Chain A
Amino acid sequence: MNAVKVLVFGRVREIVAAGSVELPVPAGTTAGSILDTLAARHPELLPWRPHLRVAVNREYARDDAPVAPGDEVAVIPPVSGG
């Protein structure tokens, strides 16, 4: 089955209890659908959903950006460096 490894950070990493998670990528998978799938698996993420961004291949991606097997995908909670 086609899948992508999704990297997670910060509070999202703690909720998922892992540094990454494998998610299926059926045809039509987008950055936004990755977030929806992850939030469905981990309901604790639902309040975070509006604040999460996705990076595809190390660039911020819009919710409708396509995701394909082999892409490097990361869930980006609100950043707080500095």
Chain B
Amino acid sequence: MEPAFVDITQGRIDTERLIAAVTRPSAGGTAVFIGTTRNPSDGREVSHLVYEAYEPMALGRMSAIAAEAGARWPLIAACLVHRVGRVEPGEASVVVAVSAAHRGAAFEACRFLIDALKKDVPIWKKEVFADGERWGGP
């Protein structure tokens, strides 16, 4: 696999552009995961979310898990982008896009990448409610 594109961005994630970035003539398919802000959360009305990252380490971990996926599956290209700052309900906070010659590898690697990102990458979410706030946890 070519080196993955990883990014942490303040602004809206352009999903179309990321899909285009991993699309290749040799790819039979592209699997995409879009994580969006959930509302309500545990029955509480969410005003918005705020994400923060330890950026240099987060980018390093994102590149490392992408390289691991590239070693486990025959991928063609991959990208992982996470948003930081304020995110409104319904907006994308994270996008993973993976292309491969065949769909099985693309689906499996995409699932692996979002699971590994949630477990390993130093990014934190705070949910802000009308009546309080809560940091995400394990």
Contact = CB atoms under 8 A, between A and B. Distances in A.
Interface stretch (A5-13, A27-35, A37-45, A62-70): A5-13
B135 A80 contact: yes
B93 interface: yes
Given A10-B124, A82-B35, A58 B138 contact: no
B118 A74 contact: no
Interface in B101-138: 114, 117-126, 135-138
Interface residues of A, number: 17
Nearest to B58: A81
Contacts of A9: 52, 54, 122, 124
B82 interface: yes
A74 B121 contact: no
Interface of A: 7, 9-11, 13, 51, 55, 58-59, 74, 76-82
7 contacts: A9-B52, A10-B124, A76-B122, A80-B123, A81-B51, A81-B122, A82-B35
